[in-house]
Amino acid sequence: MNDPIRQAVKLFQSRQRSRALAFGSSNTERFLPGMHWFDCFDLAVRQKYGRILTCINAGISGNTTADLLARFDDDAARYRPYLAFVTVGGNDCNPAKNIDGATFAGNLRELHRRFAALGCMVIFQTYYAPNPEGVEPVRLQNFYRYMDLVRAAAAATGSGLIDHLRRWEALRRAEPQKYLLLMRDGFHVNPRGNLALGVDIARRFGASLGQVDPDCWGEALAIQAVMDRLAPDTVPAP
């Protein structure tokens, strides 16, 4: 099966106009000043391939997979995207939400099924690494297990996967001060963290952020280089 990320790159190279959707919770909703990771993706595609993509951010803070399914028709299907970034699990893993692992995994597969029925390619994303000091232990334990379920869902459905967690976990453990500069609180990145996510996502699509306004991207690219060194097996092939 073709990798959805490679398929998306081929579409961008064709200069055919299309739509991309970001679907998730607070990691996806744009609620902070500065460039959001999805803004970075939008800008990178525009700089590399031209004005060929309409990007729609449909993130809502606090959402679980059940919430995404409940609002799918209004906030996803109506836009008929070609490409959907699905970044979810940080709320599902909260014991207060009462969503067990089997239900979470089933909901991920159902999200993929609904997007596939629209002719939309899915790219699942794991989260960045949470700060253990800011997250209750049970939720933190669940979180890592649920991110494994995201990886499994991507593999089982033939979806794309951008595994931020592996790279960020390496940074958190080896360079904690650099890591903390990217975090707003235990479960959220700040504007710097969004840029760090953004340059990694852009690179997966063959686009480089930094050629235009390099001063804006210098810190994020330096963080990317540190992650590349700490977790070389996560660096995408050229």
Rounded average pLDDT over 21-42: 94
Judge whether residue 57 has pLDDT over 60.
yes
Report whether 28 contacts 38 (CB < 8 A): yes
Question: Residue 160: which of 69, 74, 87 has the closest Cα?
Answer: 87
Q: What is the pTM of this model?
A: 0.95
Enumerate residues 6+ apart whose C-beta is below 8 A from 22. Answer: 28, 38, 55, 56, 57, 58, 59, 84, 85, 87
pLDDT in tens, 174-218: 999 999 999 999 999 999 999 999 999 999 999 989 887 888 999
Amino acid found at 213: D
pLDDT in tens, 108-147: 999 999 999 999 999 999 999 999 997 899 999 999 999 9
Judge whether residue 2 has pLDDT over 70.
no
Question: Residue 46: which of 235, 225, 212 has the closest Cα?
Answer: 212
Distance from C-alpha of 86 to C-alpha of 27, rounded to nearest angstrom:
10
Percent of the chain with pLDDT over 90: 91
Strands 53-57 vs 83-87: parallel, antiparallel or unpaired: unpaired
pLDDT at 113: 98
Report whether 95 contacts 138 (CB < 8 A): yes
Judge whether residue 1 has pLDDT over 80.
no
Q: Decide: residue 179, CB within 10 A, 0-12 exposed, 13-18 middle, 19+ buried.
A: buried
pLDDT at 215: 85
Amino acid found at 68: L
Query: pLDDT averaged over the chain?
Result: 95
pLDDT in tens, 73-89: 999 999 999 999 999 99
pLDDT at 208: 87
The pLDDT-based confidence of 50 (bands split at 50, 70, 90) is: very high
Rounded average pLDDT over 214-238: 93
Distance from C-alpha of 20 to C-alpha of 76, rounded to nearest angstrom:
10
Judge whether residue 238 has pLDDT over 80.
no
Q: How many CB atoms lie within 10 A of CB 107?
A: 22
